[in-house]
A and B are shown apart, each in its own frame.
Chain A
Amino acid sequence: MAVTDERADDPNITYLRTDPDLPPVAIVDRSPMTVGKRILFAVIGLIGAVAWAIIALVRGESVNAVWFVLAAVCTYIVAYRFYARLIEMKVVKPRDDHATPAEILDNSRDYMPTDRRVLFGHHFAAIAGAGPLVGPVLAAQMGYLPGTIWIIIGAVLAGCVQDYLVLSISTRRRGRSLGQMARDELGAVGGTAAIVAVFVIMIILIAVLALVVVNALAESPWGVFSIAMTIPIALFMGVYLRFFRPGRVSEVSAIGVVLLLAAIVAGRYVGESSWGNDWFSLSPVALSWAIIIYGVAAAILPVWLLLAPRDYLSTFMKVGTIALLAVGILLVQPVMQAPAVSEFAWNGQGPAFAGALFPFLFITIACGALSGFHSLIASGTTPKLLAKEGQARIIGYGGMLTESFVAIMALITACILDQHLYFAMNAPASVTGGDAAGAAEYVNGLGLDGAPVTPEYFEQAAEGVEEASIVSKTGGAPTLAMGMAETLQQAIGGESLRSFWYHFAIMFEALFILTTVDAGTRVARFMLSDGLGNLPGARRFKDPSWRPGAWLCTVIVCAAWGSILLMGVTDPLGGINTLFPLFGIANQLLAAVALTVVTVVLFKRGQFRWAWIPGVPLVWDLIVTMSASWQKIFSDNPSIGYWAQHRDFVNARDQGLTTFKTATSSDEIDAVVRNTFIQGTLSIIFASLVLIVAVVGAYLCVKAVRSGGLPTTEDEPVPSRIFGPRGLLTTPTERRVQKEWDEFLHDHPPGSPPEPATTGGEKGAP
């Protein structure tokens, strides 16, 4: 379809045109690497190797955080340049002379070719959330080394591969969602199992994220006040955009951020006042109800009023805070307090989460290395904005590398904290007793490095951030905030700003978790009403503007995650301890679904030789999730197996005991019996759904090998009529072609057909 246009200046470069009247729409560059670049990459590789050696081998003295940053960044650069390029050449084979869905279906709303650098920001803001921050913090109980290796290597070989390949196959299917692609490629059974899995996983995700917020904000009037203030701020922004200045999004976001900072500052005085204490010191249960009610209200209110402005604020805060943390770490250059590998990696008795390194480290880190949830963004949302197939590498692979970097920073932040403090914050109240004296006794018994601590040590730490207590503040967010406050106060403002930075970090996490609660409830509601609409006599549910249906589904969805949230909050065993593994398993199982779809597509296309690229992470992920599920279901050790715990507590109840293990009343025993039953059942459902998907996938792969490939549901290519550079930086050749386009568009202003679109390139960019 394309006409090639070789120019005499360089035999390695081919220019592709789809219309003789238009400048080239694509460049095929086969130039070998220059000597300078080879030397550059060799140097980067060498620095990375030195950094890795120091992290892995130095013992006995503390390792500086800068080595972690160097090891990560050098590995990312080499992986992006070589491994991602290999995937591009051998598997994806992008065709920039073919139009993407964004170009074909351009409506200047949800479909539009977007500048790749802007889309990178959009994609990153959509995939980055609390997961990559919380998971690594919990994983830090096993020491810094296992987490660092998995976050970096896992991202390079698994997470980035998944995101990149899902993005590229969805781009060739008009931006279809993962659920739709599963149905198209895996058939009715596999597809339905995949869609049900996505729904159940979404519910558990919302519940666990809400639990993280509850743990961070309970009994903290400062935190509750400032996060409550985000609601009126968002409403104000929504009204401002709707009625006063439509479209002035960065203007209103800047105002919103200023108000937000003012709310954090004001929170201190509210927290110190007696009325503020009365109003905003909420118990975990009261706070959970507040979040559930908020979830229902937020999902029923129109998007423009609450969700959209919150989303703008989240984007601002997310990018800003992560950049701030990176600068802080580089300026302060803190050293690790955690050991390289702790005994909890092997004995599986860690307080933050139970279970040994394999498989539970991989389950816990989840999003920072491989996140199934990204496949929901990389299909359905981002492909509709992708200007050129060739840009999928920087968006998909590059976006996930950035997320992995966020996870590394979270891990560093947790590992630079004093280990006594870390374990006092992350051990459940059932072992620390929830007070400073109990926490001191507990952590001094752990055999950590350094002198034993006194209860006053934890009281001072709490005073330093103006909290009533920091003991058993589980869930990762408070620990991260503590580490951020430690780093940032050294970089900016000193001791007097420590409590401000702590609450700033809490606010920033709570802000985008609440945005996820709202958005996730809407997505789950949509899936539920879509599913209900298939039942006979319930077709009306398919119509999203039918309000009673939408309300009913909202209440059902919020009741589902709300009950899991309340279960976690009141769990005598510690909610994070029991629920976080379920969340991690769910996320990794979703990744298994996405990687299965990708692998099946490769087999159907006949790319057997390269099917190991998604195949190896898929098999690894299945081994991890299935052995974790196996242990959660069948382990005899009650601290790991849900059903073993269930049996113990059922026996205790039958014997009429009123105290058993950490439960101190017969009500609490009943609660554990109920909770473990629900958790065990959910584990079985998750694992079964994914096994169905995997078996269907394996069957299709064998079938494809036997017949030498099978038809896929890829769309027929349409010739492209726009141009856009591939990488973040523009090459000199790309710049020349871009100049041709700029001149062409100048001579042929829009209005008279046939005209090409103007975006996707540099236009508008200074």
Chain B
Amino acid sequence: MGRLRRVVDAVRWYVGSLMGDHDYRRYVEHMARTHPREPVLSESDYWRGRYADQDRRPGARCC
């Protein structure tokens, strides 16, 4: 059971990291570490900012 659980957790961690589920948590930690006095964006605003960045500077996709 313990082994199966570990595999399931690993898959969840991987898929979550790949898709970006943990990005906001990382951002909060990042702000606490590097700019502790600055205000931290809400999760919704953080993602708005990221998509706005992509609007401004598009990234390529391959053939």
A interface list, Cβ under 8 A from B: 106-110, 112, 114-115, 117-118, 121-122, 125-131, 205, 209, 241-242, 246-251, 253, 302-304, 307-308, 311-312, 315, 366-367, 371, 373-374, 376-377, 380-381, 512, 515-516, 519-520, 522-523, 525-526, 544-545, 583, 587, 750-751, 753, 755, 757-759, 764-766
Question: A302-B55, A315-B18 are known contacts. Are A381 and B60 too (CB-CB below 8 A)?
Answer: yes
Smallest beta-carbon distance B28→chain A, Å:
9
Contacts of A526 in B (CB 8 A): 57-58
A587 touches B63 (CB 8 A): yes
Contacts of B48 in A (CB 8 A): 242, 304
A250 touches B19 (CB 8 A): yes
Contacts of B10 in A (CB 8 A): 765-766
Smallest beta-carbon distance B37→chain A, Å:
11
Main secondary structure of the interface of B (DSSP, over half): helix
Question: A249-B20, A302-B51, A373-B63 are known contacts. Are A519 and B58 too (CB-CB below 8 A)?
Answer: yes
Contacts of A106 in B (CB 8 A): 30, 34
A303 touches B55 (CB 8 A): yes
Question: A250-B15, A758-B29, A764-B13 are known contacts. Are A377 and B62 too (CB-CB below 8 A)?
Answer: yes
Instruction: Sample 30 A-B pairs with CB under 8 A, ordered by A number.
Output: A106-B34, A109-B53, A110-B53, A110-B57, A112-B26, A118-B14, A126-B61, A127-B62, A128-B62, A129-B63, A130-B63, A205-B63, A247-B21, A247-B23, A247-B47, A250-B19, A251-B21, A253-B19, A302-B51, A371-B63, A380-B59, A516-B61, A516-B62, A520-B61, A526-B58, A583-B63, A751-B33, A755-B33, A757-B30, A764-B13
Q: Which of B18, B51, B61 contacts A303 (CB 8 A)?
A: B51
Smallest beta-carbon distance B49→chain A, Å:
7
Question: A302-B55, A526-B57 are known contacts. Are A121 and B21 too (CB-CB below 8 A)?
Answer: no
B51 touches A108 (CB 8 A): no
Contacts of A108 in B (CB 8 A): 23, 26-27, 30-31
B53 touches A247 (CB 8 A): no
Give the CA-CA distance A127 to B10 in the complex, in Å: 24
Closest chain A residue to B58, Cβ basis: A522
Place the interface of chain B in its size category.
Answer: 35 or more
B53 touches A544 (CB 8 A): no
Per-residue 0/1 for B2-15: is the Cβ within 8 Å of any A Cβ (1 yes, 0 no)?
00001001100111
B32 touches A751 (CB 8 A): yes
Smallest beta-carbon distance B23→chain A, Å:
7
Give the CA-CA distance A355 to B46 in the complex, in Å: 53
Smallest beta-carbon distance B9→chain A, Å:
4
Contacts of B21 in A (CB 8 A): 247-251
Contacts of A380 in B (CB 8 A): 59-60
Contacts of A312 in B (CB 8 A): 19
Smallest beta-carbon distance A241→chain B, Å:
7
Give the CA-CA distance A122 to B56 in the complex, in Å: 20
